[in-house]
Amino acid sequence: MLNRGRTFAPTSCRRSAGSWLIRAIRSPASTAFFIVADTHKKIFQGIDDLVVAISEHEALFISQSLVRRARLNTLDDVRDTLVAFGLVASREYSTTLVGFIRMMMAEGARNPSLKKRVYEAGSEIVTRRLREFLSEANEKGILSISDAQVCAEQLMGLLREPLYQALMLNPVTSQKVTAADRVKAGIERFLHGCASARSARYERTI
């Protein structure tokens, strides 16, 4: 159960990549919590709001490369953006988010409302941004896809593989292929099935 009314500093929220150190402290005179993240503070009325904020922060962090990017003109532009997105997503799903997801799996069963809020603030945002990115690439004739939502969900499933393995408690084994290489290979397979005929012809000529 969530630790209500005490210092809340889950290790899953200490991330050097985002320079975030999050802790919620309950004031003796109120039920409010505040969040300390680098040099700014934000007030929350309860621990549930804090958990939702953590989920939202992770979603924005993971998906920022889909928003802050160059214009899409070629398949290489799409590839570069998806690889950048995939590397961040895969790293977060194999480290930062493992403990957070385990906590939510237990808490969500007792608190469906919180589970829904966390989903809407987190996973739904990432998938929506990816869908919008794929839709734009499709509209520009770089990709050829009939359902951007389905494609986004398929790619997210590939990138969440490290999370699924961790949740299944699979032992870590030494592998010759690095995580970055696996992400790049997965993106390449995804694009091979989604590239438009025009993009495919261009790829063959270079």
Complete domains list, the chain, with CATH: 47-205 (1.10.357.10)
Question: pTM value?
Answer: 0.75
Residues in the chain: 206
2: CB partners within 8 A, 6+ apart = 8, 47, 48, 51, 103, 107
CB distance 191 to 78 below 8 Å: yes
The 8-class DSSP code of residue 170 comes to P
**pLDDT reported for residue 156:** 94
Q: pLDDT at position 203, please?
A: 56
For residue 28, the model assigns a pLDDT of 43
Per-residue pLDDT of the chain (206 residues; tens, 9 = 90+): 454 443 333 333 434 333 333 444 344 444 444 444 444 456 666 788 888 988 999 999 999 999 998 889 999 999 999 999 999 999 998 888 888 888 888 888 899 999 999 999 999 999 999 999 999 999 999 999 999 999 999 999 999 887 877 777 665 555 667 889 999 999 999 999 998 887 766 555 54
Dmax of the chain from CA atoms? 69
184 CB-near residues (< 8 Å, 6+ apart) = 83, 86
Sign of CA dihedral 88, 91, 95, 100: positive
